[in-house]
Structure 1
Amino acid sequence: MTTMIAVDVTTIPALGHGEAMALQATELDRAVAVLRTLDDDQWRARTVCPDWDVRQMWLHVLGACEAGASMRKNVHQMRVARKRRKDSGVSLEAGLSGVQVAEREHLSPEDLVERLELIAPKTVKGRSRTPRPIRAMKIGIDAPVVERWSLGYLIDIIYLRDAWMHRVDTARATGVELVLTADHDGRIVADVVAEWARRHGQPFTLELTGIAGGVFTADGGGEPVVVDAVEFCSVLAGRGAATGLLATIVPF
């Protein structure tokens, strides 16, 4: 039996821009690979996202990727999303994802996968080239938290987590295998743990089971919490019942 060494959460390095882009490239490759295996029934499967089946969920991801590859599309999506927010009273996040889905509803699953595969490297390239002063700019966010984010946080962290979580959602909705590795998924999970710890600021001992997990502590530890690594992230993203420190929202 192997005993995992506990990691002090303050020693988890922040995801740098280059590392985040490499993780996004891998994540989009994995997404395309799993989407190619889906049959018609799986594409129509309802997801934990209330308004979306699997195809619509990935239309949203495709839209985000196309915006990442084209400043013109990015500006267009934000303009229409702000109008939706004003007209319908939804959050900017909901307005943006709604635009992304609505403008791509005509795509078949085959067309969706083909476009995602073609745009993925251009997305990573476009996001990689975002100038430092632009990345430092602040934007107001109204869901799932109300705060101000740097564009760098959105580009590097949120887009990575969003694609990763939707791959998780796909596996849960369709029953396909969720491919996980310690170097890729474990790094994403560790970054989530570090942000979760900063947001609640309390002592803890957290054991995340599975290949993407590990043992993490802060401020001398606390009552141990044991949970599957993927389930931990799902709960923080609002996809399950949360109690105690797990009720701390971490944006995805």
Structure 2
Amino acid sequence: MIRHAEAMLITASENTRLLDLLRRLTGEQWQATTDCTGWTVRDIAVHLIASAQAQAHPLEFARQLLAGRRLGGAHWVDGLNQAQLLARTGWEASTLPPLWAQHSAAALKARRRLPAPIRALPILPLGTGLGVHIGWQSLGYLFGMGFTRDVWMHRIDIARAAGIEPSLTAAHDGRIVADIVDEWSGRHGQPYTLTLTGPAGGSFQAGDRGEPQSVDAVEFARILSGRADGPGILRHKLPL
């Protein structure tokens, strides 16, 4: 499991990697469709910046949450995401990289300073998504690696849509994937033998009679998140 201090170091690195990717995008790439239904590359970038604004300022978090609840949706996060986009329709693509740099830095500063007793408060009603019951979680679930996983997964979405090979390393991306495997494994509780290939890959096992599966590490994350389908033990999902 990734603890808070390590999570903040990973977050700083992930924020930089996303910024580097956003700076590479051309006009057409900003309008490319992504694996996220109904969202373009621009939409994903706007969502991530809005999320960073909410992380940095509790009142902005509350404002987005209330706006999202008025819009409704299958899950309260759906309304929240829609509200983020509707409130920022005037943002030009050219402004998004500097906006990300500004607000991701403010969000990271706020997350680093969040006291441990506050992070431990179990006040997030995450409920059920993709058929997985997450239930009530602590603030630390999101303000540790939760938001960072969101950025990482969306960096993959943007790279795929734009036709750009994402920057992946074992030390950074492999650590994020291993943390995802840890939670996924604990939630479904079944034996498995898992070989994840590619720069972010590794070998994982639980139990003695685990069903063997081999898949690219990024594809594994896409399968878990519902962006793609997978056989056997990979049928168990994890919202990312």
- 2:142 pairs with 137, 154, 159, which one? 154
Correspondence for 2:126: 141
1:221 Cα offset (Å): 4.8
Work out the CA distance in 2 between the residues paired with 1:165 and 1:250. Answer: 12
- 1:51 pairs with 26, 34, 38, which one? 38
Greater shift after overlay, 217-226 or 120-129? 217-226
Correspondence for 2:218: 230
Work out the CA distance in 2 between the residues paired with 1:18 and 1:169. Answer: 27
Correspondence for 2:151: 163
Correspondence for 1:6: none
Identity between Structure 1 and Structure 2 (%):
42
Work out the CA distance in 2 between the residues paired with 1:155 and 1:221. Answer: 36
Query: Does the residue aligned with 1:215 lie in a helix, a strand or coil?
Result: strand
| Aligned partners of 1:21 and 1:128 also within 8 Å | yes
Is 1:82 matched up with 2:69?
Answer: yes
Where do 1:81-120 residues align within 5 Å? 81-85=68-72, 89-120=73-104
- In structure 2, stretches of 5+ residues that fail to align are none
Correspondence for 1:210: 198
Greater shift after overlay, 174-183 or 134-143? 134-143
| Aligned partners of 1:93 and 1:143 also within 8 Å | no
Q: C-alpha offsets along residues 106-138 of structure 1, whole Å, 9 cap, x if unaligned?
A: 111111111111122211011111222221222
Moved over 6 A (4+): none
| Aligned partners of 1:92 and 1:142 also within 8 Å | no
Is 1:241 matched up with 2:226?
Answer: no
Query: Does the residue aligned with 2:230 lie in a helix, a strand or coil?
Result: coil
Work out the CA distance in 1 between the residues paired with 2:207 and 2:235. Answer: 19
Q: Report the TM-score, using the length of structure 2 for normalisation.
A: 0.94
Greater RCO, 1 or 2 (C-alpha within 8 Å, sep 6+): 1
Work out the CA distance in 1 between the residues paired with 2:115 and 2:82. Answer: 28
